[in-house]
Amino acid sequence: MSGWKRTAAALLAAVLFAVQTALPSFAQENPAQTEETEILAGELTVYTQSKGVHKADAVLFNHEEILAAPHTIASLTGAELTSGDAGELIFRRGSYVVQISPDGAAEIGLIFQETNAVYLYGKESFTLEGMRTLPVNGTDTLLLPLEQTLYLLNAQWSCEGGCVYLYNAPETLWNVVGDVWEMYEDMPSPAEILGDSAGKKWGNSFKYGLLAFADEVSPKYLIPIVGDGSWGDQKLKEALLTLAEPCENLMGSLEDEARSDSSRYLSDIGGMADDLSTIGGGAASVAEKLTKSVTAWSSVKIPESISSTFSAVGFAGKMAKAIAAAGRFESWSELYVSQLKYLSTVKNEDYASYCEALNKAASSLSAEYGNFDKNLAQETMKAVFSTLGSTLFEKTPAGLVFSSYSLVHTFVEAYIPAAKTAQQAGDNASAALRLSDLSVLMKAQYAQEIVSAIQKGTLGSAQDVEQLRFLGSLMMTASAHSHDSLYSARRNLYLAGHPDADEDEIVQNAGDLISMEALGGKLVRSQTAVTRFEETSQYDGTLLLYGDFHNLYSEDAGSHREQIPPEYVQPKVSAENNGGNVVGYLGDVYYWRYGAGSFDSEGTFAYFPYQQAENELICRHADGTEDVILRAAGYGPIFVSGDRLFLQACGGGLFSVKLDGSGRADLGSCEAWAADEAAGTLLISPFGSDGGVSLLNAADLSVTPLSGEGSTFLLAQDGYCYYASADSSGSTPGAVLWRASLDGSEIVRLARAENTGDWASFHPAIEQVTVCGTEVYFSFGIYSGTAGMFQEGGIGCVDTQDMSYELCVPSGELGAEEFLVSKNGDETRLSYVSYDDGTGSYIGFWDDYPYRTFHVMTKKDGDSAWTSSPGSGMLTRPGAFLCVDGEIVRWNGETQDFETLIPKEAGFSFLDAPQGSEERLTLVTNLDVVGGWIYFTVEESVSTGEAFGWRPVYRRERTTLYAMELGSSEPIALYSC
């Protein structure tokens, strides 16, 4: 095969054998920190649709180059990041891959069915200038040039008021092309269409045998059936006319399914513009820019009568939606004429006589209806929009697609009276077969065009992919209409014998060789493919990638990229591990130093509760020197906000001091939950059964109550705080999961959970929350008994985009509160301990143990059902540290693997699962990671020989706080008591 295919194999090898390792260290030397070299490790304020306005780590090099870590860029673009055998960085957005070698050379490719890869842009040579390894917060960090990498990943962005507004299209044409084999699987099956005819001719068993065989014929062997035979010209014309109509069943019983299936591929430019409009300030002008620049249909003029209906509020969003609707309407109204024109001249040597018949029929139609042109479509569009007014514009993107589709074809129907003929004639099977043949012919044309586009090796303009889109779209349009015709045929046949049948009965019984549900699915997916082709046209500008990056900055429609001002990179104002036992802030580290009297001397399971005692608050500097900044009865977690420290008092309560330990303020009987150190606020909750959430302002220590509900803190992440409260409002006691923004501006009730069965009369506890993209997963259940065993529970999930809720693991089926959820491409993976796997418990020497028997559920985007199978390996909750084979490990969510924090070489004698019969025990009681260092407390204890019931009692011997650089095995003892 050709050279490009051999090199594609190399790409394939790299992709198939990608090993998810930590980022490799690169051979490049770190630039000497001379006067000429300046590195600012800071952050950018960015906006993305998924996360809103947030901070992203960035580095400013020599005052002008903006760099970012690969995982940061992956997060900004919604790409999956892995690394290859040879240290390559591999970014994937679906089937689109950008692979960056350690020397900065970038290659772009397309992966088909995870088994084959081809190069795109073979004639371009991309090298990322400015790819470097620099010291960031004391750790050598690989950094990529931000703008160039975003460019290769088809991102668009605009800059305003110190914020970078990023827009990532759901997909581009390359992603659609990458799914070509999946689309082939949805094409019509002639055996399904002709099954009845075969049955009449040769009998039922022949019919079923034919279909069984057809099911196993690869799409590579598809050919037109009747292409070589004599064609009735009238029949062929009737089949082609159906392309002008919307699929009858998509506008009928399958409409909801079709909208839902298409929706995940539709960009919500209007929604984003709305979101930006509400932010205010610079964002509002970005919203205006967005509506003009991001959509490719900006040349469509909205009639004045329409624009005047928009009020000032939400104008940008409505404008974007209007432009999108108008663009789709215009695009689809022109499409049919273009399709006829193409079919009038299409040639293919293998199907020569078929093409002749097509040419003749399409020419005839084109001549007859050829004055259905752009101007007429626009005039009609204006009239339609002015009568509809705001009704259309409030619809969701998916709704807009279907409304536009319906509108344009209503117009077509009025203009071309014969368009209804084919369906009304009842000859659906004939149309289905002819359209099936058409789709196969288009498959051959499309395939040739894909090869041609790949071999071109570069794109001169967006027009270079126009033909590719056109052919693919026509292929799937023919496919959709073929399925639609067959669906109608089956439906009408059933109704002929059962005139009173309702839709459910028809779906249940009308199918024969293929169920109505399966046929409907193929129809919906074929239509979704058409939508994908059409929808991605607005982003063709982002496909124009060149090795010299000459169009890196662009204001072209659909590929808007502005130069990011270097001053947008600001120094970080953030605390590391805020709320942990060890917290880093502005280069210093803070922790409590305890004494002998700080703990109970004896405890069951070697757990020694804190006692009322005066402890020392330490500030440890980067050079290793330490200051005692405070002596007070405080312990445990430390929060930083607004240049103050917030500390937990022995015996309960919260108090605060300045960074030097002065200016103590007592804040009463409450606990801190989550800090926004940049904003200088802290979310707190009062003790007591009423609970509630308040916002504390660090500047003046004022407290503003936000909500009367909330008693259990669960998670603080990405600008939000998740917490739970007991709820007695329903007939069954429940627990409610809440989410509050760290600035207190937004509190949302996410979900309510209940126990079932014997535990229904008890309030469940929500135990663990994990955020995966826009989905919030949580486990709930009940602990009981003297051993404190987890009895049973469930796992729920809320999609914060539309607040839909799913009970992934029904109440009663969960065996432990710990679970893991991850997303790999379009597949979500949920690992959990089912009731059958065993029940979880927290009564033990370690806070957490790994589960080795558990289940894994997986689901693809858009699917409603999960697939469950036994899991293998270990499972624990994110953030927990475990003892495994004498080493302390923790789950790393980025690498999706366990990482060793304290290796055996560090010299501690940890036991995985102490039984309580051991004379001496060494345990880790706290572990925090700050600035590339692990701070961990090792507690050595001896057995007293006694027990409290079944619980063994130990006496504390020594407690030592160690610090150890990540990846090393040489701990430094900070203090012992």
Partner 1 sequence: MRKRSGRRLLALALCLPILAACCAGCADSGKEEAKLACEEFFASYAGGEESGLAIEGFGASEPLEGLQLQMAERLEFEVRDASGSGDAMQVSAVVTSVDLRQVLESLPDTVDSTEAAREALSAALADENVPTRSFDVDVTLVRQDDGWTVQMTPSLADALLGGYYSILREAAEEVKE
Q: How far is the CB of 377 from partner 1 (least distance, A)?
A: 34
N-terminal to C-terminal alpha carbon distance within the chain: 71
Q: Which of 464, 397, 465 is nearest to 172 (CA)?
A: 465
Query: Where in 278-297 is the site for partner 1 (CB under 8 A)?
Result: none
Q: How far is the CB of 355 from partner 1 (least distance, A)?
A: 13
CA distances from 352 to 222, 362, 461 (A): 16, 15, 32
Between 295 and 445, CB nearer to partner 1: 445
Region for residue 643 given its phi and psi (left: phi exceeds 0; alpha: psi -120 to 50; beta: otherwise): left
Q: Is 228 helix (H, G, I), strand (E, B) or coil?
A: coil
34, 218, 662, 745: residue in contact with partner 1 (rule CB under 8 A): 218
Instruction: For the beta carbon of residue 972, count every other beta carbon within 10 angstroms.
Output: 11
According to DSSP, the residues that pair with 741 across neighbouring strands are 720
Q: How far is the CB of 198 from partner 1 (least distance, A)?
A: 4
Q: How far is the CB of 121 from partner 1 (least distance, A)?
A: 15
Phi, psi (rounded to 5 degrees) for 594:
-100, 165
Phi, psi (rounded to 5 degrees) for 512:
-130, -85
Between 437 and 677, CB nearer to partner 1: 437
Copy the structure tokens of residue 114. Answer: 């995870």
Q: Cα–Cα distance between 309 and 329 in angstroms, integer?
A: 20
10, 140, 213, 313: residue in contact with partner 1 (rule CB under 8 A): 213
122, 227, 710, 815: residue in contact with partner 1 (rule CB under 8 A): 227
According to the binding rule CB under 8 A, does residue 197 interact with partner 1?
yes
According to the binding rule CB under 8 A, does residue 9 interact with partner 1?
no
Binding segment toward partner 1, per CB under 8 A, in 211-219, 380-388, 796-804, 953-961: 211-219
Q: How far is the CB of 207 from partner 1 (least distance, A)?
A: 9
Between 36 and 216, CB nearer to partner 1: 216
Q: How far is the CB of 264 from partner 1 (least distance, A)?
A: 25
According to the binding rule CB under 8 A, does residue 200 interact with partner 1?
yes
Q: Per-residue x/- mask for partner 1, residues 232 to 271, rule CB under 8 A?
A: x-xx------------------------------------
According to the binding rule CB under 8 A, does residue 96 interact with partner 1?
no
According to the binding rule CB under 8 A, does residue 487 interact with partner 1?
no
Q: Per-residue x/- mask for partner 1, residues 154 to 193, rule CB under 8 A?
A: --------------------------xx--------xx-x
Q: Is 603 helix (H, G, I), strand (E, B) or coil?
A: strand
Q: Cα–Cα distance between 48 and 71 in angstroms, integer?
A: 15
Q: Hunting for tokens 């992440």 — which residue is that? A: 717
DSSP assignment of 247-275: PTTTTTTTHHHHHHHHHTTS--HHHHHHH
Q: How far is the CB of 455 from partner 1 (least distance, A)?
A: 8
Between 444 and 901, CB nearer to partner 1: 444
**How is the beta sheet containing 897-902 ordered, strand by strand?**
881-884, 887-892, 897-902
Q: Cα–Cα distance between 8 and 486 in angstroms, integer?
A: 40
According to the binding rule CB under 8 A, does residue 113 interact with partner 1?
yes
Q: Cα–Cα distance between 461 and 464 in angstroms, integer?
A: 6
According to the binding rule CB under 8 A, does residue 205 interact with partner 1?
yes
105, 223, 703, 726: residue in contact with partner 1 (rule CB under 8 A): 223
- Tell me the angle at which helices 282-293 and 315-345 cross, rounded to the nearest 10 degrees: 20
Sign of the four-CA dihedral 861, 864, 867, 871: positive
Q: Hunting for tokens 């529970």 — which residue is that? A: 793
According to the binding rule CB under 8 A, does residue 229 interact with partner 1?
yes
Binding segment toward partner 1, per CB under 8 A, in 111-119, 364-372, 458-466, 716-724: 111-119
How many alpha carbons lie under 13 Å from residue 335 in its C-beta half-sphere? 28
Q: How far is the CB of 675 from partner 1 (least distance, A)?
A: 52
Query: Where in 452-471 is the site for partner 1 (CB under 8 A)?
Result: 454-455
Binding segment toward partner 1, per CB under 8 A, in 14-22, 81-89, 113-121, 908-916: 113-121
Helix (H) or strand (E) holding 956: strand 951-965
According to the binding rule CB under 8 A, does residue 204 interact with partner 1?
yes
Q: What's the DSSP call for residue 579?
A: T
According to the binding rule CB under 8 A, does residue 493 interact with partner 1?
no
20, 125, 448, 612: residue in contact with partner 1 (rule CB under 8 A): 448
208, 415, 687, 842: residue in contact with partner 1 (rule CB under 8 A): 208
Binding segment toward partner 1, per CB under 8 A, in 203-211, 413-421, 577-585, 903-911: 203-211
What's 838-865 look like in SS3? CCCECCCCCCCCCECCCEEEEEECCCCC
CA distances from 660 to 655, 829, 912 (A): 14, 46, 41
CB 855 within 8 A of CB 862: no
Between 165 and 533, CB nearer to partner 1: 533
Sign of the four-CA dihedral 842, 843, 848, 853: negative
Question: What residue type is 914 in one-letter code?
Answer: P
According to the binding rule CB under 8 A, does residue 3 interact with partner 1?
yes
According to the binding rule CB under 8 A, does residue 202 interact with partner 1?
yes
Between 50 and 421, CB nearer to partner 1: 421
CB 830 within 8 A of CB 857: yes
According to the binding rule CB under 8 A, does residue 226 interact with partner 1?
yes
Q: How far is the CB of 495 from partner 1 (least distance, A)?
A: 20
Q: How far is the CB of 202 from partner 1 (least distance, A)?
A: 6
Label the pairing between strands 80-83 and 163-167: unpaired
Between 97 and 226, CB nearer to partner 1: 226
Q: How far is the CB of 223 from partner 1 (least distance, A)?
A: 5
Query: Where in 300-359 is the site for partner 1 (CB under 8 A)?
Result: 350-351
According to DSSP, the residues that pair with 466 across neighbouring strands are none
Question: What residue type is 926 in one-letter code?
Answer: N
64, 215, 256, 356: residue in contact with partner 1 (rule CB under 8 A): 215
Q: Per-residue x/- mask for partner 1, residues 36 to 65, rule CB under 8 A?
A: ------------------------------
Q: Cα–Cα distance between 447 and 807 in angstroms, integer?
A: 43
According to the binding rule CB under 8 A, does residue 224 interact with partner 1?
yes
10, 37, 62, 206: residue in contact with partner 1 (rule CB under 8 A): 206
Q: Which of 222, 166, 579, 633 is nearest to 436 (CA)?
A: 222
Binding segment toward partner 1, per CB under 8 A, in 194-202, 643-651, 891-899, 927-935: 194-202
- Tell me the angle at which helices 397-415 and 374-388 cross, rounded to the nearest 10 degrees: 120
Q: What's the DSSP call for residue 905?
A: G
Give the E-state strand segments of 5-125 in sequence order: 39-48, 52-61, 65-68, 80-83, 89-93, 96-100, 105-112, 116-120
Between 143 and 454, CB nearer to partner 1: 454
Q: Cα–Cα distance between 549 and 949 in angstroms, integer?
A: 73
103, 129, 228, 666: residue in contact with partner 1 (rule CB under 8 A): 228
Query: Where in 380-439 is the site for partner 1 (CB under 8 A)?
Result: 427, 429-430, 433
Alpha carbon dihedral 191, 197, 202, 207, in 10-degree steps, equals 30
59, 90, 131, 194: residue in contact with partner 1 (rule CB under 8 A): 194
Count of residues in contact with partner 1, rule CB under 8 A: 63
Interacting residue ranges for partner 1, rule: CB under 8 A: 1-3, 5, 110, 112-113, 115-116, 118, 180-181, 190-191, 193-194, 197-198, 200-206, 208-218, 220-221, 223-232, 234-235, 350-351, 427, 429-430, 433, 447-448, 450-451, 454-455, 513
